[in-house]
Amino acid sequence: MSDTILQVQDLRINFKTYAGIVQAVRGVNFELKAGETLAIVGESGSGKSVTSNALMKLIPQPPGIYESGKILFNGRDLIPLSDKQMSKVRGNEIAMIFQDPMTSLNPTMRIGRQITEVILQHKKISRSEAKKRAIELLTQVGIPMPEKRYKQYPHEFSGGMRQRVVIAIALAADPKLLIADEPTTALDVTIQAQILELMKEIQKTSNTSIIFITHDLGVVANVADRVAVMYAGQIVEYGTVNEIFYNPKHPYTWGLLGSMPDIDSNSDELLRTIPGSPPDLIHPPKGDAFAARNEFALAIDYEKEPPMFQISETHFAKTWLLHPDAPKIPIPEAVSKRIEGYLAKEDQLNV
């Protein structure tokens, strides 16, 4: 758990559209260590998928523009690499699992060939060895009767089984970094739980780092070591999973946590909501992008963008509320009560 394999520094990505330039990612910084899972959470349009696609250099140019920043993978910046150089990284050192297993597999190719294709592309081994490896992979991801399944087409698989195949393809070249973009959103809860278990197991055995993109906070709590909360193209809070869930500092994180109902929450109360909708990133608002939806917004939020305030060695949040001169605003009661409930349950178990 020591060496950093990925450093993203001041990443900015724009898209040229007829309406103007959309600033989809506006200065994102984070790091990832070997064997660690970082979850990126945020609403649609917050830039989480653009960030992850950028890591694989999958942003089409045009309309996309890598405005500035560095993506250091094992110390090497990926942004200036040519397509040819990138194709040695893609699928080999960094692999991706997409959201929809129905569309990310080729319907006209047998499963087996879709896996060996990756192995043969990146490894100098014979076809028969590649086939052996593919069957091993299918076994590893928990597909029964791998020899028979190897010869089948995607339509012969259920949704959960297809996602297992997608994971097998991603693992085919032993990547060091796995990017999973909403890998369980299209699946049922029971299947989702199985896929999450599988990903954690793979991580344990191969020490792969994972970037997990999702909007489901329950899933984040289940898989992540570290969490980045994104809003309007920026990371607004960053910390370990316990810091984000038990000591959240950014009002947007409060909003996200509050808008999820709890198994024990009283259904007579209305859910806390975040009013309004995310800002237009063609003309990002002046100051704090979240100000307009923030019930605790200060006057300065409309004037000046807040810096990242450090709360602990690992915990950062981008809100003026953390400035020493800002009024002390406690976490909204609905959220704090729930956190207390969770922690009280823990205490009981530890007694």
Partner 1 sequence: MSKKLLEIKNLTQHFGSSNNPIKAVDGISFDIYEGETLGLVGESGCGKSTTGRSIIRLYDITGGEVIFDGKDVHGKKSAKELKQFNREMQMIFQDPYASLNPRMTAGEIISESFDIHGLYKNKKERREKVASLLEAVGLNKEHANRYAHEFSGGQRQRIGIARALSLNPSFIIADEPISALDVSIQAQVVNLLKQLQKEHNLTYLFIAHDLSMVKYISDRIAVMYSGKIVEIGLADDIYHSPVHPYTKSLLSAIPLPDPLSESRRTRIPYVHEEVDESASFHEVSDKHFVYGTVATVQKWKDTE
Distances (CA, A) of 184 to 46, 120, 197, 292: 19, 28, 12, 32
Residue placing its CB nearer to partner 1 in the complex, 72 or 191:
191
Q: Which residues ranging from 124 to 163 are in contact with partner 1 (CB under 8 A)?
A: 159
By the rule CB under 8 A, 334 interacts with partner 1: no
By the rule CB under 8 A, 267 interacts with partner 1: yes
Contact code string over 195-224 relative to partner 1, x by CB under 8 A:
-xx-----------------xxxxxxxx-x
Residue placing its CB nearer to partner 1 in the complex, 243 or 301:
243
Tokens of 301: 């939020």
CA neighbours closer than 13 Å in the CB half-sphere of residue 156: 12
Measured CA to CA, the distance from residue 163 to residue 143 in angstroms comes to 11
Span from 26-34, 67-75, 108-116, 254-262 in contact with partner 1 (CB under 8 A) = 254-262
Residue placing its CB nearer to partner 1 in the complex, 198 or 311:
198
Measured CA to CA, the distance from residue 272 to residue 57 in angstroms comes to 38
Count of residues near partner 1 by CB under 8 A? 47
Give the residue, chosen from 1, 19, 270, 351, that forms a contact with partner 1 under the rule CB under 8 A: 270
By the rule CB under 8 A, 351 interacts with partner 1: no
Q: Is the peptide bond before 62 cis (omega within 30 degrees of 0)?
A: yes
Q: Which residues ranging from 178 to 197 are in contact with partner 1 (CB under 8 A)?
A: 188-194, 196-197
Measured CA to CA, the distance from residue 146 to residue 144 in angstroms comes to 6
By the rule CB under 8 A, 256 interacts with partner 1: yes
By the rule CB under 8 A, 44 interacts with partner 1: yes
Span from 53-61, 88-96, 272-280, 314-322 in contact with partner 1 (CB under 8 A) = 272-280
Give the residue, chosen from 66, 157, 245, 290, that forms a contact with partner 1 under the rule CB under 8 A: 245
Give the residue, chosen from 295, 314, 342, 344, that forms a contact with partner 1 under the rule CB under 8 A: 342
Span from 5-13, 53-61, 100-108, 257-265 in contact with partner 1 (CB under 8 A) = 257-265
By the rule CB under 8 A, 247 interacts with partner 1: no
By the rule CB under 8 A, 336 interacts with partner 1: no
Residue placing its CB nearer to partner 1 in the complex, 44 or 126:
44
Tokens of 273: 């909501």
Q: Which residues ranging from 71 to 110 are in contact with partner 1 (CB under 8 A)?
A: none
Span from 7-15, 64-72, 265-273, 316-324 in contact with partner 1 (CB under 8 A) = 265-273
What is the four-CA torsion angle of 117, 166, 228, 338, rounded to 10 degrees?
-170
Residue placing its CB nearer to partner 1 in the complex, 90 or 250:
250
By the rule CB under 8 A, 265 interacts with partner 1: yes
Residue placing its CB nearer to partner 1 in the complex, 21 or 260:
260
Residue placing its CB nearer to partner 1 in the complex, 61 or 273:
273
By the rule CB under 8 A, 255 interacts with partner 1: yes
**Residues near partner 1, by CB under 8 A:** 43-44, 159, 188-194, 196-197, 215-222, 224, 241-242, 245-246, 255-263, 265, 267, 270-275, 277, 342-343, 345-346
